[in-house]
Amino acid sequence: MEPYNKIDAIVFLADTPQGVNYKNIVRTDSYYVGRLKGGSAVFRDPSTVSRPPWMTPDKMLMLHGLYNKKKKAKINITEKVDEKKELLILWKLLLPLAREVKEEDYSNSFLEHKLGDTTTPKPKPKKVVTKERDSIILSPHAKILKTDKIPKSEKNKKRQEHYDGSKVSVLTHRTLYMGLTLADIKYDIKCGYAKIIT
């Protein structure tokens, strides 16, 4: 999309920490409006666009009083019908007073993009290194024997009593009687309560 090269917007720049003070106004076209500082109040040509929501009748009177030094054109906002006419009066009053856009009027993000500023690179997120788990592969024919290490949990102590050199298939088959699963056996081996003996 190319610039219109037609002035169809007056922008009250947000140049104070509190926001817009309505004293710093620039004229531009719709192409560059979004590149100006964030929080700025945009007043577009009222002959083509309706009244912006921030432009209340009180705000119109305030702007007219602020910029109408010679008191030539009076503004009277009493009826909804005359609103368009009053906006055109305000537009014609503000347009010659608005200055051209300078580089400092643009937002920081637009300037960084335009200039290709790479002096302050964004920090890269640290890679999270996860330790791979040691998986225990048990064949059904492996024999399990208990070790000298004694578990603290009573449940694990009872489980350890069944590791008498029996095959894994037999231990898990007897699950109906003991409540022993393949995961329990792997846990006990990992903790050192049992070991594989062939």
Q: Do residue 102 and residue 190 come from a single domain?
A: no
For residue 33, being part of any structural domain is answered with yes
Q: Do residue 77 and residue 169 come from a single domain?
A: no
What average pLDDT does range 64-78 have in this prediction? 68
Q: Do residue 21 and residue 107 come from a single domain?
A: yes
pLDDT band at 161 (very low <50, low <70, confident <90, very high): confident
Q: Do residue 101 and residue 19 come from a single domain?
A: yes
For residue 138, being part of any structural domain is answered with no
For residue 64, report the phi and psi dihedrals to the nearest 5 degrees: -65, -45
Percentage of the chain lying above the pLDDT 70 cut: 83
CA distance 1 to 22: 30
Q: What local confidence, expressed as pLDDT, does residue 147 receive?
A: 92
Q: Do residue 81 and residue 15 come from a single domain?
A: yes
For residue 133, being part of any structural domain is answered with no
Q: Do residue 184 and residue 103 come from a single domain?
A: no
Whether residue 116 is predicted with pLDDT greater than 70 in this model: the reply is no
What average pLDDT does range 74-87 have in this prediction? 66
Q: Do residue 28 and residue 70 come from a single domain?
A: yes
Q: Do residue 101 and residue 169 come from a single domain?
A: no
Domain that holds residue 180: 143-196
Q: Do residue 103 and residue 152 come from a single domain?
A: no
Number of domains comprising the chain: 2
What average pLDDT does range 176-182 have in this prediction? 73
Q: Do residue 94 and residue 148 come from a single domain?
A: no
pTM comes to 0.49
Q: What local confidence, expressed as pLDDT, does residue 174 receive?
A: 63
For residue 131, being part of any structural domain is answered with no
Six-digit token string for 55? 């432009």
Query: What does the buried/exposed string (b/e) look like for 60-94 if buried means 16 or more CB atoms within 10 Å of the residue's CB?
Result: beebbeebbeeeeeebebeeeeebeebbebbeebb
Q: What local confidence, expressed as pLDDT, does residue 81 receive?
A: 47
pLDDT band at 1 (very low <50, low <70, confident <90, very high): very low
DSSP E strand boundaries for 13-142: 25-28, 41-44
Q: Rounded mean pLDDT of the chain?
A: 79
81 vs 75, more confident: 75
Angle at 63 between CA 22 and CA 6, to 5 degrees: 75
